[in-house]
Structure 1
Amino acid sequence: MNATARQRPAWILPVIVLSQFAATSLWFAANAVLPDLQTVFDLPANAVGLVTSAVQFGFVAGTLIFALLTLSDRFRPSTVFLVCALLGAACNAGVFVVPDGLWPLLVLRFATGFFLAGIYPVGMKIAASWYAEGLGGALGYLVGALVLGTAFPHLIEALGGDLPWRGVMAAVSGLAVAGGLAVYLFVPAGPHLPGPSPFDPRAIPQAFADRNLRSAAFGYFGHMWELYPVLAFFPVLLVLHIEGGGASGVGVSLWSFFAIAAGAVGCMGGGMLSRRLGSARVAFVQLACSGVACVVSPWLLHAPTPVFLAFLLFWGMTVSGDSPQFSTLVAGSAPRRSVGTALTFVNSMGFAITIVSLQLVELLRHVVHPDYMMWVLVPGPVIGLLAMRRLLQPPLST
C-alpha cells in the first residue's frame, strides 16, 4: 500500500460513489415518467428524443461554461458539487409549478442538465484528487454510480405501484440534495488536488496539444455518439419487442432499469480489469462489443424473449462500461492544473454529439422500419476505435 492510500480515509470512495449515484438520478427522471408527462403536458409522440435532448443541451451548455471559466479548477470542488446538486434538484422539482406544455418542461430539463455539469465531471475530479494510482478502478465505481443513478428513476417507477409521477420526481430531487450534502460534509480535498487556478483562456488549447489526450477524446466522442441514444431508447426497444410478439408480461420500466443498470457492472468490472490490462485496452474491447450490438440489434429485437433480454443486458453493460476508462485516459493526459477543465470540456463536446445522434435515431424511427433505427449509431464506435489505435501501442497505454 502506497503512502497516499494509507492517508486516504476508508469512507472517501463510498461517499463519492453514493453521492454521484444520488445526484445523477436527476438525468433520466423525466424519461421514467414520460407516459404520465405526455398526458399532463400534452407532449408529442417524439417526446423521448426532445426531453432527453433538452437535458443534453443543458449539460453541454453547462460544461462549456464551466470549462471556459475553469470553475472546477478555481473553486473547491465539493462546494461546486453541492450548489449544483441543490439547483439541479430544484429544477427537477419545478415541474410541480410550471404551466402545462412542452416548452416549460423542456426549459426545466435544460436547466437540470446545466447543473448536472457541476456534478458528473466535478465528481470525477474529486476522485482524481484522491487517486494518483488506480484511477481507472476508482472511476469505474464512480461512473458505475452515474449509470445506476440514471437508471434509478425507472426502478422507482417500476416498483412504486400507484406512486404518482410527482412522487417519483420528488423522490429523485430529495436524493440529489442528500448526495450534494454528503460530498460537501464528508469529502475534503484530496492530496493530489492542485491549488485554485486563475482563469486561463489557453487551458483548453494547451490540454489538446497532447496527442494522447486527442486520441482519448476522439475515442470518447465515438462512444458518446452511441451511448445516450441507446440508454434513452431501451424502453422503446422493449415496447417494439412486445409489439412484435415478445412476452407481454415483460415490465418495460423494470427491464429498462436492468438494462441501463447493467452498465454499472461494465464500469466496475472494466475498472478492475484496467489495473491489469490498462484503460485503453479495456475501453477498446468494450467499445467494439457495443458497436457489434448496434449492428445485430435488428435481428436480436425479435429473438425469443430470454435471448432478447440477455442481449439488452449485454448491450447495457458494454455501451456504458468504457466511460470511466475514457475519463481516466483524458485525466491522465491532461496538464495537472487543468484536469477539471479538460474533463469538463471533453464531456461538453461528447454530450453535444449525443444531441445529434438522439435526434437522428428519433427521425429514423419514423422514416424507416424502427428495427433498423439503431444502425445510425454504428459509425460512432467505428470512429472511436480508429482514434484509439495510438493508445494501444506501448508505452502510450495507461
Structure 2
Amino acid sequence: MTGLLQRYPLPVIVLAQLFGTSLWFSINGVWLSLAGELDLAESDLGRLTLSVQAGFIAGTLALAVTGLADRFGASRIFLVSSLLGALVNAGFVLVAGVFPVDSLLRFSTGLCLAGIYPLGMKMVIAWTPKYAGAALAWLVGMLTLGTALPHLMRGATLGLPWEWPLLAASGLALAGGLLVFLLGDGPHLPKTSGRLPLSQGLAALRIPRFRAVAGGYFGHMWELYAFWTLTPLLIGRELQRLDMGEALIPWLAFAVIGIGAAGCVGGGRLSRTLGSEWVARRALMVSGAICLLYPWLSGLPPVVLISLLLVWGVAVVADSPQFSALAAATAPKATVGSSLAVMNAVGFGLTLPAIWLTSGLWGELGVWVVLLLVPGPIFGLWSLGRGQSGSD
C-alpha cells in the first residue's frame, strides 16, 4: 500500500488535505439548522469561527517556537493532528450552544488544523519541489474545497439532523490522516535536529524578499476568510430578493467557495510559464476590484450578483498557493516548515479582526460591510511592489 501511495504522492496529499480541512468550517456548513434549533445569532457564528482561527494561530506559533514542524516527521504530525481534530470536532455535537465550552472545542479544532495545513505544504515541497507553485496550487485548492465541503454536506443532508455533517467531517479527517501516514515523509527537505528557538522561525522575516511576499500574503488573508464567512449571508440576501427559501444557501455557498479550487489550479498552471508573482498580483487586483465595487452594484439582479460572487470566489484564493511557493523559495531551506508556520500564524491572526468586524457589523451595514475588506488587497499589492526587485 505504501509503495502504491508513494507513486502518486501529490494526489494523496491533496486528497488528505481536502479531508482534513473539512473540519475548518464544519460549523458554518450546518449553521442555519444549528442556529434555528439552539436560537443562536450571527454573532455566535463569528465567535465560533474566530475560535477556530485563534486556535490555528496558537498552533502555528507553537510549531514555530518548538521547532516541531522541522524536528519530527510531517506525516506523523499530520496523523496525530487529524485524529485529535476529528475527536474534538465530533465532541462539539455534545456541547453546541454551551458557552464557553463550544468555543473551547472550536479553538482546539484550530489547534489541530495547525498540524494539517502547514505540514501539508511542507510535504508537497518535500515530495514535488520542482514545480512548487503548481503543486501547492492543488494543495490550497483542496483546502478551499475542504472549507466548502461542509456546505455541500449540509445541502445533501437537509432535513436530517445537523450533527450528521459534523460527524462526517470527523470521519473524513481521520481518513486523511491515515493516508498521509501511510505515504510517509518526502525525500527533498533536510531534517533538523534539536530545539529551534522562535528566532529561527522568524529568521526569514529578515530577508527583504520574504518580507515582501509575506506582506502580500497578509493582505490576501485579511480578505479571504472574512469573505468565506460572509458567503452564506451574501447568498442568503440574494435568495431573499428572489423570494426563495434557504434550501439553496448551502449549495450556492459551496459553489462560491469551492470554485476557488479551480482558481488555485488554474493559477498554478499559469505560474509555470508566467511566474508565481504574476499570478498572485493579478488575483489580488481582481478580488480587490470586486471587493470595492460589489456594494455599489448591490441593486443589480440577484443572478448577476451571484455570478459576480462566483468570480470573486475564483480570484480571492488563487493567489494563496503562489504566496506559499514564493515564501518557501526564499525562506532558509532547513527551517522552511517553521518559516511557513510563522507566516501562517501572522496571516491568520489578521483574519480575526476581519471576521469580527464583518460578521459583527453585518446586521447594521449589510452588503456594505465588504468595503472593510478592501485594505487587504491594497496592502498586498503595495507590499509586492516593494519587493519587485527580487527574483520570482
Q: Same fold (TM over 0.5)?
A: yes
Instruction: Give the TM-score category using the shorter length.
Output: over 0.9
- Aligned 8 A contact 2:82 2:174 in 1: yes
The residue aligned with 1:72 is 69
- Relative to 1, partners in 2 of residues 1:311 and 1:65: Cα closer, same or farther, differing over 3 Å? same
- Relative to 1, partners in 2 of residues 1:247 and 1:289: Cα closer, same or farther, differing over 3 Å? farther
Q: CA deviation at 1:9?
A: 4.5
Residue 346 of structure 1 pairs with residue 329 of structure 2: no
Task: State the alpha-carbon separation in 1 of the partners of residues 48 and 203 from structure 2.
Answer: 35
2:372 is aligned, of 376, 392, 397, to: 376
- Aligned 8 A contact 1:70 1:200 in 2: yes
- Aligned 8 A contact 2:10 2:128 in 1: no
Task: State the alpha-carbon separation in 1 of the partners of residues 327 and 98 from structure 2.
Answer: 40
Unaligned runs of 5+ in 1: 1-7
Residue 270 of structure 1 pairs with residue 267 of structure 2: yes
TM-score, with normalisation over the residues of structure 2?
0.95
Q: Over residues 208-249 of structure 1, what are the superposed CA-to-partner deviations in whole Å (9 max), with x where a residue is unaligned?
A: 111111001111000000000000110001112233x23626
Task: State the alpha-carbon separation in 2 of the partners of residues 356 and 49 from structure 1.
Answer: 10
Task: State the alpha-carbon separation in 2 of the partners of residues 33 and 355 from structure 1.
Answer: 21
Q: CA deviation at 1:103?
A: 1.7
- Aligned 8 A contact 1:125 1:340 in 2: yes
Task: State the alpha-carbon separation in 2 of the partners of residues 299 and 207 from structure 1.
Answer: 40
Amino acid at match of 1:86: L
> Number of paired residues?
386
User: 1:33-72 to 2 correspondence within 5 Å?
Assistant: 33-72=30-69
Q: CA deviation at 1:130?
A: 1.5
User: 1:157-236 to 2 correspondence within 5 Å?
Assistant: 157-185=154-182, 187-201=183-197, 202-236=199-233
Q: Which runs of 4+ in 1 moved over 6 A?
A: none
Q: Comparing 376-385 with 194-203, which one deviates more in the overlay?
A: 194-203
Residue 360 of structure 1 pairs with residue 368 of structure 2: no
2:242 is aligned, of 232, 240, 246, to: 246
The residue aligned with 2:316 is 319
The residue aligned with 1:104 is 101
Q: CA deviation at 1:118?
A: 0.2
Q: CA deviation at 1:132?
A: 2.3
2:111 is aligned, of 86, 109, 114, to: 114
- Aligned 8 A contact 1:225 1:353 in 2: yes
Task: State the alpha-carbon separation in 1 of the partners of residues 42 and 222 from structure 2.
Answer: 23
Amino acid at match of 2:205: F
Residue 284 of structure 1 pairs with residue 268 of structure 2: no
- Aligned 8 A contact 1:280 1:391 in 2: no
Q: Over residues 103-147 of structure 1, what are the superposed CA-to-partner deviations in whole Å (9 max), with x where a residue is unaligned?
A: 221111110011100000000000001222110000000000000
Amino acid at match of 1:349: V
Q: Tell me the percent identity.
A: 44
**What SS class does the counterpart of residue 100 from structure 2 fall into?**
helix
Residue 126 of structure 1 pairs with residue 87 of structure 2: no
- Relative to 1, partners in 2 of residues 1:41 and 1:108: Cα closer, same or farther, differing over 3 Å? farther
TM-score, with normalisation over the residues of structure 1?
0.93
- Aligned 8 A contact 2:82 2:116 in 1: yes
Amino acid at match of 1:142: L
- Aligned 8 A contact 1:26 1:176 in 2: yes
Task: State the alpha-carbon separation in 2 of the partners of residues 224 and 166 from structure 1.
Answer: 30
Unaligned runs of 5+ in 2: none
Q: Comparing 196-205 with 216-225, which one deviates more in the overlay?
A: 196-205
Task: State the alpha-carbon separation in 2 of the partners of residues 87 and 126 from structure 1.
Answer: 20
**What SS class does the counterpart of residue 315 from structure 1 fall into?**
helix
Q: CA deviation at 1:310?
A: 1.2
1:296 is aligned, of 288, 293, 298, to: 293
Amino acid at match of 1:376: L
Question: Greater helix percent: which structure?
Answer: 2
- Aligned 8 A contact 2:204 2:331 in 1: yes
Task: State the alpha-carbon separation in 1 of the partners of residues 325 and 298 from structure 2.
Answer: 33
- Relative to 1, partners in 2 of residues 1:38 and 1:161: Cα closer, same or farther, differing over 3 Å? closer
Q: CA deviation at 1:322?
A: 0.7
Q: CA deviation at 1:39?
A: 4.1
- Aligned 8 A contact 1:38 1:44 in 2: yes
- Relative to 1, partners in 2 of residues 1:220 and 1:340: Cα closer, same or farther, differing over 3 Å? same
Amino acid at match of 1:351: F
Q: Comparing 374-383 with 126-135, which one deviates more in the overlay?
A: 126-135
Task: State the alpha-carbon separation in 1 of the partners of residues 90 and 262 from structure 2.
Answer: 30
Q: Over residues 177-225 of structure 1, what are the superposed CA-to-partner deviations in whole Å (9 max), with x where a residue is unaligned?
A: 000000001x222221212332222312322111111001111000000
- Aligned 8 A contact 2:42 2:360 in 1: no
Task: State the alpha-carbon separation in 2 of the partners of residues 364 and 42 from structure 1.
Answer: 19
